């Protein structure tokens, strides 16, 4: 693409930092969406090319203060894949969807369910096998605590839509958190730890609750009857749809082209 740069008005880079090294070689403006920093060690690379690429963040929380950003554009989901469920399922349960690892708070989700004596259904990739063996597997009984493993896309909306809420007790700053948007699209509120972008995705008290620890999450589950499922869906339609994301990027492109 960089070899053919003169054919394009804009090059949009979703390939992280490696593509930045080509940005000084072309006159075509380069937009780089930063989908999270792999580590702090990579900051100097982004700083080096700060004037050669227009940076876009996927949340305001996931910004590095030494970089210049042209915009924040939230990730968008295809609402057709996450049909709205106005009532939830008959056998209401708590849901957990995501990587099985410390940073996503799988263990914490289990503890929230146990303290409430409520059913928890989990799905996702085991990213940390040792963590799974020590902190997750001992609690799985397929009665109160169930783990489905990886599930196909068509089952995700069923898992989320039939749940009482999605538990999202992340242990490190969340960059965006697609599962929160997917859950709310189905009408299911989210209870998440106050890390990173959680407070940008979830509207506290209206589409879920933002808490700081397990005990607060437990109390929040007891208040879920105050959340209207239609408000969850409306928030995603307003901020986190594919259409909204596309609109955001078109505005970025137009801004850059006007500058050039």
DSSP assignment string, 36-55? --S-GGGHHHHHHTTTTSEE
pLDDT at 244 over 90: yes
Instruction: Round to whole Å and give the CA distance between 170 and 183.
Output: 15
The 10 Å Cβ neighbour count of residue 47 is 12
pLDDT of residue 142: 87
Give burial (CB, 10 Å; 0-12/13-18/19+) of 214: middle
pLDDT of residue 153: 87
Per-residue pLDDT of 53-81, as tens digits, reads: 999 999 999 999 999 999 999 999 999 99
Instruction: Round to whole Å and give the CA distance between 190 and 180.
Output: 6
pLDDT of residue 39: 85
Q: What band does 90 get if pLDDT is binned at 50, 70 and 90?
A: confident
Residue range 96-114: mean pLDDT, rounded: 98
Q: Which CATH number fits domain 79-239: 3.40.920.10, 3.90.180.10, 3.30.980.10, 3.40.50.2000?
A: 3.40.50.2000
Q: Which residue has the tokens 């940008």?
A: 200
**3-state SS, residue 259:** helix
Instruction: Round to whole Å and give the CA distance between 24 and 54.
Output: 12
Q: What are the structural domain ranges in the chain?
A: 5-75+241-259, 79-239
Q: What is the dihedral of CA 21, 27, 28, 33, to 10 degrees?
A: 30
DSSP string, 94-129: EEEES-BSTTTTHHHHHHHHHHHT--EEEE--BS-H
Q: Identify which of 82, 86, 87, 84 has the alpha carbon closest to the alpha carbon of residue 97.
A: 82
Per-residue pLDDT of 185-201, as tens digits, reads: 999 999 999 999 999 99
The 10 Å Cβ neighbour count of residue 40 is 8
Per-residue pLDDT of 148-164, as tens digits, reads: 999 998 899 999 999 99
Instruction: Round to whole Å and give the CA distance between 260 and 254.
Output: 10
The 10 Å Cβ neighbour count of residue 213 is 12
- Mean residue pLDDT across the chain: 96
Contact 70, 252 (CB under 8 A): yes
Strands 120-123 and 11-13: unpaired
């Amino acid at each position: 693409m960089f070899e053919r740069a003169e054919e394009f008005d804009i090059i949009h880079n979703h390939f992280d930092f490696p593509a930045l090294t080509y940005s000084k070689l072309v006159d075509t403006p380069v937009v780089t969406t930063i989908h999270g920093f792999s580590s702090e060690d990579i900051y100097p690379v982004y700083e080096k090319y700060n004037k050669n690429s227009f940076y876009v963040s996927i949340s305001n929380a996931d910004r590095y203060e030494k970089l210049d950003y042209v915009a924040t554009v939230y990730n968008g989901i295809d609402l057709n894949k996450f049909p709205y469920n106005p009532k939830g399922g008959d056998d209401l349960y708590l849901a957990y969807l995501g990587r099985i690892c410390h940073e996503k708070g799988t263990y914490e989700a289990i503890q929230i369910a146990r303290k409430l004596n409520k059913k928890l259904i989990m799905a996702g990739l085991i990213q940390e096998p040792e963590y799974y063996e020590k902190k997750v597997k001992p609690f799985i009984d397929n009665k109160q605590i169930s783990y489905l493993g990886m599930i196909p896309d068509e089952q995700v909306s069923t898992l989320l839509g039939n749940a009482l809420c999605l538990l999202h007790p992340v242990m490190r700053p969340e960059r965006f958190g697609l599962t929160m948007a997917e859950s709310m699209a189905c009408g299911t509120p989210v209870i998440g730890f106050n890390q990173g972008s959680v407070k940008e995705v979830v509207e506290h008290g209206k589409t879920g609750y933002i808490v700081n620890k397990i005990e607060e999450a437990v109390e929040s589950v007891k208040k879920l009857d105050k959340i209207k499922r239609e408000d969850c869906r409306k928030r995603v339609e307003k901020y986190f749809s594919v259409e909204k994301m596309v609109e955001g990027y078109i505005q970025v492109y137009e801004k850059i082209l006007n500058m050039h």
